[in-house]
Amino acid sequence: MAQTEPVTAVIVGGGHRAIIYGDYSLKHPDELKIVGIADPMAERREMAMKRYGFPAENCFASAQELAQRPKFADAVINGTMDHQHFETSVPLLEKGYDMLLEKPFAVSEEEMQKLLAVIHANGSKVMICHVLRYTPFYRAVKRRILSGELGDIINIQMAEHVSYHHLSTSYVRGKWANSDVCKTSMLLAKSCHDIDIMMWLMGSVRPKTVTSAGSIFQFRPENAPKDAGTRCLVDCPLADTCRYSAKKLYFEHPNRWECYVWADLEHGENVTDEDRWNSLLKSPYGRCIYKCDNNVVDHQSVLVNFENGATGTHNMIGGSARSARIIHIIGTKGELEGVFEDNAITVRIIDADEESGFRTESVDLSEAEAEGHGGGDDALTADFVRYIRTGEQSISCTAIDNSVAGHLTVFNADRSRENGGAPVYCDFSKYEGSPD
Protein backbone atom coordinates (compact mmCIF):
# COMPACT_ATOMS: atom_id res chain seq x y z
CA MET A 1 0.00 0.00 0.00
CA ALA A 2 1.27 3.47 -0.89
CA GLN A 3 2.40 5.67 1.98
CA THR A 4 0.03 8.56 2.71
CA GLU A 5 1.83 10.28 5.58
CA PRO A 6 4.60 12.80 4.75
CA VAL A 7 7.93 11.20 3.89
CA THR A 8 10.29 11.93 6.79
CA ALA A 9 13.90 12.76 5.99
CA VAL A 10 17.19 13.61 7.70
CA ILE A 11 19.55 16.06 5.98
CA VAL A 12 23.17 14.88 5.85
CA GLY A 13 25.43 17.76 4.90
CA GLY A 14 23.47 20.96 5.47
CA GLY A 15 24.90 23.00 2.62
CA HIS A 16 23.24 24.96 -0.18
CA ARG A 17 21.89 22.06 -2.25
CA ALA A 18 20.50 19.94 0.60
CA ILE A 19 18.65 22.92 2.06
CA ILE A 20 17.03 23.63 -1.32
CA TYR A 21 15.61 20.10 -1.35
CA GLY A 22 14.74 20.29 2.33
CA ASP A 23 12.79 23.49 1.80
CA TYR A 24 10.30 21.54 -0.31
CA SER A 25 8.92 20.47 3.08
CA LEU A 26 8.08 24.10 3.94
CA LYS A 27 5.98 24.44 0.78
CA HIS A 28 4.48 20.93 0.87
CA PRO A 29 4.33 19.80 4.52
CA ASP A 30 1.84 17.09 3.61
CA GLU A 31 4.48 15.44 1.38
CA LEU A 32 7.84 15.90 3.11
CA LYS A 33 8.95 16.53 6.69
CA ILE A 34 12.55 17.20 7.73
CA VAL A 35 13.17 15.60 11.14
CA GLY A 36 16.92 15.84 11.69
CA ILE A 37 20.36 16.86 10.43
CA ALA A 38 23.91 15.52 10.45
CA ASP A 39 26.59 18.15 9.82
CA PRO A 40 29.95 18.89 11.49
CA MET A 41 29.12 22.63 11.72
CA ALA A 42 27.16 23.54 14.85
CA GLU A 43 25.82 26.67 13.11
CA ARG A 44 24.25 24.59 10.36
CA ARG A 45 22.70 22.18 12.84
CA GLU A 46 21.20 25.10 14.77
CA MET A 47 19.92 26.72 11.58
CA ALA A 48 18.24 23.53 10.37
CA MET A 49 16.67 22.84 13.78
CA LYS A 50 15.05 26.29 13.78
CA ARG A 51 14.12 26.16 10.09
CA TYR A 52 12.36 22.80 10.18
CA GLY A 53 11.27 22.56 13.82
CA PHE A 54 12.81 19.30 14.98
CA PRO A 55 14.32 18.68 18.46
CA ALA A 56 18.01 19.04 19.36
CA GLU A 57 18.25 15.31 19.98
CA ASN A 58 17.95 14.84 16.21
CA CYS A 59 21.13 16.84 15.51
CA PHE A 60 24.29 14.86 14.75
CA ALA A 61 27.87 15.82 13.93
CA SER A 62 28.31 13.15 11.26
CA ALA A 63 26.57 10.47 9.22
CA GLN A 64 28.38 7.87 11.29
CA GLU A 65 26.93 9.34 14.50
CA LEU A 66 23.46 9.35 12.94
CA ALA A 67 23.91 5.69 12.00
CA GLN A 68 24.46 4.82 15.67
CA ARG A 69 20.87 5.84 16.46
CA PRO A 70 17.92 3.55 15.71
CA LYS A 71 16.36 4.48 12.35
CA PHE A 72 13.81 7.27 12.91
CA ALA A 73 13.02 8.54 9.40
CA ASP A 74 12.13 7.15 5.99
CA ALA A 75 14.99 8.69 4.07
CA VAL A 76 18.17 10.76 4.00
CA ILE A 77 18.87 13.80 1.81
CA ASN A 78 22.63 13.49 1.25
CA GLY A 79 24.13 16.83 0.20
CA THR A 80 27.72 16.23 1.30
CA MET A 81 30.73 17.00 -0.90
CA ASP A 82 31.35 14.68 -3.87
CA HIS A 83 34.17 12.69 -2.28
CA GLN A 84 32.10 12.14 0.89
CA HIS A 85 29.09 10.57 -0.81
CA PHE A 86 30.29 6.97 -0.51
CA GLU A 87 31.47 7.10 3.10
CA THR A 88 28.35 8.92 4.32
CA SER A 89 25.87 6.83 2.32
CA VAL A 90 26.95 3.28 3.14
CA PRO A 91 26.29 3.25 6.94
CA LEU A 92 22.88 4.88 6.47
CA LEU A 93 21.83 2.58 3.64
CA GLU A 94 22.84 -0.37 5.79
CA LYS A 95 20.68 1.13 8.55
CA GLY A 96 17.67 0.91 6.24
CA TYR A 97 17.29 4.50 5.04
CA ASP A 98 16.27 5.32 1.47
CA MET A 99 18.17 8.24 0.00
CA LEU A 100 18.18 11.31 -2.23
CA LEU A 101 21.87 11.55 -3.14
CA GLU A 102 23.66 14.45 -4.80
CA LYS A 103 25.56 13.90 -8.03
CA PRO A 104 28.05 12.52 -8.74
CA PHE A 105 27.11 9.62 -6.50
CA ALA A 106 30.67 8.22 -6.66
CA VAL A 107 34.06 9.64 -7.61
CA SER A 108 35.48 6.42 -9.08
CA GLU A 109 34.21 3.29 -10.78
CA GLU A 110 35.34 1.24 -7.77
CA GLU A 111 33.19 3.39 -5.44
CA MET A 112 30.28 3.09 -7.86
CA GLN A 113 30.45 -0.71 -7.86
CA LYS A 114 30.69 -0.95 -4.07
CA LEU A 115 27.83 1.51 -3.51
CA LEU A 116 25.57 -0.33 -5.95
CA ALA A 117 26.33 -3.62 -4.18
CA VAL A 118 25.23 -2.15 -0.84
CA ILE A 119 22.07 -0.69 -2.37
CA HIS A 120 21.08 -3.93 -4.09
CA ALA A 121 21.84 -6.01 -0.98
CA ASN A 122 19.59 -3.80 1.16
CA GLY A 123 16.87 -3.20 -1.43
CA SER A 124 17.28 0.56 -0.95
CA LYS A 125 15.51 3.20 -3.00
CA VAL A 126 18.20 5.71 -4.00
CA MET A 127 17.60 8.60 -6.37
CA ILE A 128 20.36 10.80 -7.80
CA CYS A 129 20.00 14.58 -8.06
CA HIS A 130 20.26 14.93 -11.83
CA VAL A 131 17.94 17.93 -11.75
CA LEU A 132 18.21 18.77 -15.45
CA ARG A 133 16.02 15.77 -16.26
CA TYR A 134 13.23 17.55 -14.39
CA THR A 135 13.35 20.90 -16.15
CA PRO A 136 10.61 21.84 -18.64
CA PHE A 137 13.30 22.21 -21.34
CA TYR A 138 14.77 18.71 -21.18
CA ARG A 139 11.42 17.08 -20.45
CA ALA A 140 10.12 18.63 -23.67
CA VAL A 141 13.13 17.25 -25.55
CA LYS A 142 12.58 13.77 -24.09
CA ARG A 143 8.89 13.77 -24.97
CA ARG A 144 9.68 14.71 -28.58
CA ILE A 145 12.03 11.74 -28.84
CA LEU A 146 9.50 9.39 -27.23
CA SER A 147 6.83 10.57 -29.68
CA GLY A 148 8.88 9.10 -32.53
CA GLU A 149 8.63 12.23 -34.68
CA LEU A 150 12.43 12.55 -34.92
CA GLY A 151 12.84 8.89 -35.89
CA ASP A 152 15.91 7.01 -34.72
CA ILE A 153 18.64 9.22 -33.27
CA ILE A 154 21.73 9.38 -35.47
CA ASN A 155 23.68 11.97 -33.50
CA ILE A 156 23.39 14.10 -30.37
CA GLN A 157 25.55 17.22 -30.15
CA MET A 158 25.73 18.85 -26.72
CA ALA A 159 27.78 21.71 -25.31
CA GLU A 160 28.09 23.34 -21.93
CA HIS A 161 29.58 26.82 -21.90
CA VAL A 162 30.76 27.54 -18.35
CA SER A 163 30.85 31.29 -17.73
CA TYR A 164 34.13 32.96 -16.85
CA HIS A 165 32.92 33.83 -13.34
CA HIS A 166 31.57 30.31 -12.65
CA LEU A 167 34.75 28.72 -13.96
CA SER A 168 37.01 30.97 -11.93
CA THR A 169 34.93 30.69 -8.76
CA SER A 170 34.28 26.95 -8.66
CA TYR A 171 37.00 25.32 -10.76
CA VAL A 172 40.07 27.53 -10.36
CA ARG A 173 39.77 29.21 -6.96
CA GLY A 174 37.09 27.08 -5.36
CA LYS A 175 36.04 23.67 -4.06
CA TRP A 176 36.40 21.75 -7.34
CA ALA A 177 39.70 23.23 -8.54
CA ASN A 178 42.11 20.53 -7.41
CA SER A 179 41.30 16.86 -7.95
CA ASP A 180 43.76 15.82 -5.24
CA VAL A 181 41.50 17.60 -2.74
CA CYS A 182 37.97 17.28 -4.17
CA LYS A 183 38.65 13.85 -5.76
CA THR A 184 36.65 14.72 -8.89
CA SER A 185 37.56 15.83 -12.39
CA MET A 186 35.86 18.90 -13.82
CA LEU A 187 33.90 16.71 -16.24
CA LEU A 188 32.56 14.64 -13.36
CA ALA A 189 31.78 17.62 -11.12
CA LYS A 190 30.30 19.90 -13.79
CA SER A 191 29.15 17.86 -16.76
CA CYS A 192 27.91 14.59 -15.28
CA HIS A 193 24.49 16.32 -15.57
CA ASP A 194 24.99 16.70 -19.31
CA ILE A 195 26.40 13.24 -19.97
CA ASP A 196 23.47 11.85 -17.96
CA ILE A 197 21.07 13.78 -20.21
CA MET A 198 22.71 12.25 -23.28
CA MET A 199 22.33 8.73 -21.89
CA TRP A 200 18.73 9.43 -20.83
CA LEU A 201 17.78 10.70 -24.28
CA MET A 202 19.36 7.63 -25.91
CA GLY A 203 17.12 5.41 -23.78
CA SER A 204 18.15 1.75 -23.70
CA VAL A 205 20.97 2.21 -26.25
CA ARG A 206 24.19 1.92 -24.29
CA PRO A 207 27.52 3.66 -24.96
CA LYS A 208 30.12 1.34 -26.51
CA THR A 209 33.34 3.38 -26.58
CA VAL A 210 34.38 6.83 -25.35
CA THR A 211 37.14 9.14 -26.59
CA SER A 212 38.10 12.45 -24.98
CA ALA A 213 40.62 15.31 -24.97
CA GLY A 214 41.05 18.42 -22.83
CA SER A 215 43.57 20.59 -20.99
CA ILE A 216 44.19 23.59 -18.78
CA PHE A 217 44.26 26.27 -21.45
CA GLN A 218 43.96 29.56 -19.60
CA PHE A 219 44.79 29.60 -15.93
CA ARG A 220 48.48 28.77 -15.70
CA PRO A 221 51.18 30.92 -14.01
CA GLU A 222 52.88 31.67 -17.33
CA ASN A 223 49.67 33.32 -18.58
CA ALA A 224 49.49 35.82 -15.71
CA PRO A 225 49.62 39.48 -16.78
CA LYS A 226 52.91 41.26 -16.23
CA ASP A 227 53.20 42.66 -12.67
CA ALA A 228 50.29 40.51 -11.40
CA GLY A 229 50.45 39.86 -7.67
CA THR A 230 49.52 36.73 -5.75
CA ARG A 231 46.40 38.11 -4.02
CA CYS A 232 44.06 40.58 -5.69
CA LEU A 233 43.47 42.85 -2.68
CA VAL A 234 46.97 42.62 -1.23
CA ASP A 235 49.75 42.98 -3.80
CA CYS A 236 48.20 43.30 -7.27
CA PRO A 237 48.18 46.63 -9.17
CA LEU A 238 45.60 45.17 -11.59
CA ALA A 239 42.78 44.74 -9.05
CA ASP A 240 40.68 47.43 -10.75
CA THR A 241 41.24 46.26 -14.34
CA CYS A 242 41.65 42.48 -14.46
CA ARG A 243 38.42 40.76 -15.50
CA TYR A 244 39.13 38.02 -12.96
CA SER A 245 39.92 40.38 -10.08
CA ALA A 246 38.34 39.23 -6.81
CA LYS A 247 37.46 42.85 -6.20
CA LYS A 248 35.46 43.10 -9.44
CA LEU A 249 33.93 39.63 -9.36
CA TYR A 250 33.03 39.35 -5.69
CA PHE A 251 33.47 42.48 -3.61
CA GLU A 252 31.69 44.75 -6.09
CA HIS A 253 29.06 42.04 -6.77
CA PRO A 254 28.59 40.41 -3.34
CA ASN A 255 25.55 38.37 -4.36
CA ARG A 256 27.44 36.56 -7.13
CA TRP A 257 28.15 32.98 -5.95
CA GLU A 258 27.64 34.16 -2.38
CA CYS A 259 27.07 30.64 -1.02
CA TYR A 260 30.61 29.75 -2.08
CA VAL A 261 32.62 32.95 -1.80
CA TRP A 262 31.27 34.02 1.58
CA ALA A 263 31.03 30.56 3.16
CA ASP A 264 33.02 31.79 6.16
CA LEU A 265 30.39 34.49 6.67
CA GLU A 266 27.24 32.50 5.88
CA HIS A 267 25.99 32.36 9.46
CA GLY A 268 26.88 35.92 10.38
CA GLU A 269 24.26 38.63 10.70
CA ASN A 270 24.59 42.14 9.28
CA VAL A 271 27.62 41.27 7.14
CA THR A 272 29.43 44.46 6.13
CA ASP A 273 31.72 45.45 3.27
CA GLU A 274 34.58 45.36 5.74
CA ASP A 275 33.73 41.75 6.61
CA ARG A 276 33.75 40.80 2.93
CA TRP A 277 36.99 42.67 2.25
CA ASN A 278 38.69 40.92 5.17
CA SER A 279 37.35 37.58 3.98
CA LEU A 280 38.93 38.05 0.55
CA LEU A 281 42.24 38.98 2.14
CA LYS A 282 42.64 35.40 3.38
CA SER A 283 40.17 33.12 1.59
CA PRO A 284 40.97 31.07 -1.55
CA TYR A 285 38.69 33.40 -3.53
CA GLY A 286 41.11 36.29 -3.10
CA ARG A 287 43.99 34.58 -4.91
CA CYS A 288 45.31 35.59 -8.32
CA ILE A 289 43.38 33.49 -10.80
CA TYR A 290 46.62 32.55 -12.59
CA LYS A 291 48.48 31.52 -9.43
CA CYS A 292 46.18 28.99 -7.75
CA ASP A 293 46.64 25.26 -7.12
CA ASN A 294 44.10 24.26 -9.82
CA ASN A 295 44.81 21.07 -11.75
CA VAL A 296 41.47 20.28 -13.43
CA VAL A 297 40.93 21.03 -17.12
CA ASP A 298 39.11 24.18 -18.21
CA HIS A 299 37.81 22.61 -21.43
CA GLN A 300 37.14 19.03 -22.55
CA SER A 301 35.54 17.31 -25.53
CA VAL A 302 33.91 13.88 -25.39
CA LEU A 303 32.94 11.57 -28.29
CA VAL A 304 30.63 8.64 -27.54
CA ASN A 305 30.06 5.75 -29.93
CA PHE A 306 26.84 3.89 -29.08
CA GLU A 307 26.16 0.18 -29.54
CA ASN A 308 23.73 0.80 -32.43
CA GLY A 309 26.21 3.00 -34.35
CA ALA A 310 24.79 6.37 -33.25
CA THR A 311 27.23 8.97 -31.96
CA GLY A 312 27.16 11.72 -29.37
CA THR A 313 29.47 14.61 -28.57
CA HIS A 314 29.75 16.83 -25.53
CA ASN A 315 31.94 19.92 -25.40
CA MET A 316 32.53 21.49 -22.00
CA ILE A 317 34.17 24.89 -22.47
CA GLY A 318 35.04 27.12 -19.54
CA GLY A 319 35.54 30.86 -19.75
CA SER A 320 32.58 31.93 -21.90
CA ALA A 321 30.88 35.28 -21.45
CA ARG A 322 27.51 33.62 -20.92
CA SER A 323 26.56 30.29 -19.35
CA ALA A 324 24.75 28.11 -21.87
CA ARG A 325 23.73 24.52 -22.42
CA ILE A 326 23.18 23.79 -26.12
CA ILE A 327 21.71 20.69 -27.75
CA HIS A 328 21.17 19.58 -31.35
CA ILE A 329 19.68 16.14 -32.08
CA ILE A 330 19.52 14.73 -35.60
CA GLY A 331 17.27 11.76 -36.28
CA THR A 332 16.18 9.80 -39.33
CA LYS A 333 12.92 11.82 -39.62
CA GLY A 334 13.88 15.23 -38.28
CA GLU A 335 15.98 17.29 -35.93
CA LEU A 336 15.68 19.32 -32.74
CA GLU A 337 17.84 22.09 -31.38
CA GLY A 338 17.70 24.53 -28.51
CA VAL A 339 19.48 26.46 -25.78
CA PHE A 340 18.50 25.66 -22.21
CA GLU A 341 18.88 29.25 -21.01
CA ASP A 342 16.57 30.49 -23.79
CA ASN A 343 13.84 28.02 -22.76
CA ALA A 344 12.90 27.32 -26.35
CA ILE A 345 13.35 24.50 -28.84
CA THR A 346 13.04 24.32 -32.62
CA VAL A 347 11.88 21.11 -34.31
CA ARG A 348 12.33 20.49 -38.04
CA ILE A 349 10.61 17.49 -39.61
CA ILE A 350 11.67 16.22 -43.04
CA ASP A 351 8.85 16.86 -45.55
CA ALA A 352 9.56 16.58 -49.27
CA ASP A 353 6.23 18.26 -50.09
CA GLU A 354 7.37 21.53 -48.50
CA GLU A 355 9.27 24.01 -50.65
CA SER A 356 11.99 24.20 -48.01
CA GLY A 357 12.12 20.43 -47.66
CA PHE A 358 11.03 20.46 -44.02
CA ARG A 359 8.39 21.67 -41.58
CA THR A 360 9.44 23.88 -38.66
CA GLU A 361 7.90 24.22 -35.22
CA SER A 362 9.18 26.64 -32.59
CA VAL A 363 8.23 25.91 -28.98
CA ASP A 364 8.43 28.54 -26.23
CA LEU A 365 8.87 26.93 -22.82
CA SER A 366 9.38 30.13 -20.84
CA GLU A 367 5.94 30.03 -19.19
CA ALA A 368 6.91 26.73 -17.56
CA GLU A 369 10.11 28.15 -16.09
CA ALA A 370 10.52 28.25 -12.31
CA GLU A 371 13.32 28.94 -9.90
CA GLY A 372 16.10 26.43 -9.24
CA HIS A 373 17.81 24.77 -12.20
CA GLY A 374 15.13 25.95 -14.61
CA GLY A 375 12.34 24.49 -12.49
CA GLY A 376 14.05 21.17 -11.82
CA ASP A 377 14.71 21.35 -8.07
CA ASP A 378 11.12 21.18 -6.82
CA ALA A 379 10.10 18.71 -9.53
CA LEU A 380 12.94 16.39 -8.54
CA THR A 381 12.04 16.53 -4.85
CA ALA A 382 8.38 15.84 -5.64
CA ASP A 383 9.43 12.84 -7.73
CA PHE A 384 11.60 11.56 -4.88
CA VAL A 385 8.67 11.75 -2.48
CA ARG A 386 6.50 9.85 -4.95
CA TYR A 387 9.24 7.25 -5.52
CA ILE A 388 9.59 6.63 -1.78
CA ARG A 389 5.84 6.47 -1.25
CA THR A 390 4.89 4.27 -4.21
CA GLY A 391 8.02 2.99 -5.95
CA GLU A 392 6.72 4.62 -9.11
CA GLN A 393 9.34 6.04 -11.47
CA SER A 394 8.55 8.91 -13.83
CA ILE A 395 10.27 9.36 -17.21
CA SER A 396 12.75 11.64 -15.42
CA CYS A 397 13.41 9.50 -12.34
CA THR A 398 17.10 8.94 -11.69
CA ALA A 399 16.92 5.83 -9.53
CA ILE A 400 20.59 5.03 -9.06
CA ASP A 401 20.69 2.18 -11.59
CA ASN A 402 19.45 4.63 -14.22
CA SER A 403 22.51 6.79 -13.56
CA VAL A 404 25.20 4.13 -14.12
CA ALA A 405 25.69 4.70 -17.87
CA GLY A 406 26.31 8.42 -17.43
CA HIS A 407 28.82 7.98 -14.60
CA LEU A 408 30.65 5.17 -16.43
CA THR A 409 30.90 7.33 -19.56
CA VAL A 410 32.45 10.18 -17.55
CA PHE A 411 34.96 7.86 -15.85
CA ASN A 412 35.94 6.44 -19.24
CA ALA A 413 36.17 9.90 -20.82
CA ASP A 414 38.68 10.94 -18.19
CA ARG A 415 40.64 7.73 -18.71
CA SER A 416 40.75 8.49 -22.42
CA ARG A 417 41.86 12.09 -21.84
CA GLU A 418 44.63 10.95 -19.51
CA ASN A 419 45.83 8.49 -22.17
CA GLY A 420 46.06 10.88 -25.09
CA GLY A 421 42.54 10.36 -26.40
CA ALA A 422 42.70 6.57 -26.78
CA PRO A 423 39.23 4.98 -27.03
CA VAL A 424 37.96 3.28 -23.85
CA TYR A 425 35.45 0.44 -23.98
CA CYS A 426 32.36 0.70 -21.75
CA ASP A 427 32.17 -2.61 -19.88
CA PHE A 428 28.67 -3.11 -18.47
CA SER A 429 29.26 -6.73 -17.46
CA LYS A 430 29.75 -5.66 -13.85
CA TYR A 431 26.35 -3.98 -13.88
CA GLU A 432 24.19 -6.64 -15.47
CA GLY A 433 20.76 -6.60 -13.89
CA SER A 434 20.83 -2.81 -13.56
CA PRO A 435 18.06 -1.24 -15.65
CA ASP A 436 18.99 1.31 -18.33
At 257 the pLDDT is: 85
Q: How far apart are CA 158 and CA 80, in angstroms?
A: 28
Average pLDDT over residues 359-387: 81
Check if CATH label 3.40.50.720 holds for domain 7-102. Answer: yes
> Which of 135-149, 213-227, 262-276, 298-312 is predicted least confidently?
262-276
Q: How far apart are CA 415 and CA 179, in angstroms?
A: 14
Whether 36 shows a pLDDT value over 80: the answer reads yes
Whether 26 shows a pLDDT value over 70: the answer reads yes
Q: How far apart are CA 380 and CA 391, in angstroms?
A: 15
Average pLDDT over residues 79-98: 96
Whether 90 shows a pLDDT value over 90: the answer reads yes
Q: How far apart are CA 319 and CA 52, in angstroms?
A: 39
Whether 432 shows a pLDDT value over 70: the answer reads no
Average pLDDT over residues 375-381: 87
Amino acid at 121: A
Phi/psi for 378 (5° steps) reads -65, -40
- Percent with pLDDT over 90 in the chain: 89
Average pLDDT over residues 322-332: 97
Three-state SS for 321?
A: coil
How does pLDDT run across 190-209, given as a tens digit for each residue? 999 999 999 999 999 999 99
Average pLDDT over residues 82-93: 96
Average pLDDT over residues 95-106: 96
At 433 the pLDDT is: 54
Whether 66 shows a pLDDT value over 60: the answer reads yes
How does pLDDT run across 262-287, given as a tens digit for each residue? 988 876 678 899 999 999 999 999 99
At 140 the pLDDT is: 95
Average pLDDT over residues 73-84: 96
Q: How far apart are CA 358 and CA 351, in angstroms?
A: 4
How does pLDDT run across 389-429, given as a tens digit for each residue? 999 989 999 899 999 999 999 999 999 999 999 999 999 98
Contacts of 253 (CB under 8 A, 6+ apart): none
Q: Using the 8-state DSSP alphabet, how is residue 236 labeled?
A: -
At 3 the pLDDT is: 65
At 372 the pLDDT is: 45
Contacts of 172 (CB under 8 A, 6+ apart): 219, 289, 292, 294, 298
Average pLDDT over residues 37-66: 97
CB-side neighbour CA atoms (13 Å) of 428: 21
Common-topology check for domains 7-102 and 132-219+294-370+400-431: no
Q: How far apart are CA 425 and CA 408, in angstroms?
A: 10
- Domain-wise residue ranges, the chain: 7-102, 132-219+294-370+400-431, 227-286
- For the domain spanning 132-219+294-370+400-431, the CATH number is 3.30.360.10
Q: What is the radius of gyration, based on Cα positions, of the chain?
A: 23
Average pLDDT over residues 133-150: 96
At 373 the pLDDT is: 45
Q: How deeply is 357 buried, as exposed, middle or buried, from its count of CB atoms within 10 A (0-12, 13-18, 19+)?
A: exposed
Q: Which helix (H) or strand (E) covers residue 130, if one does?
A: none
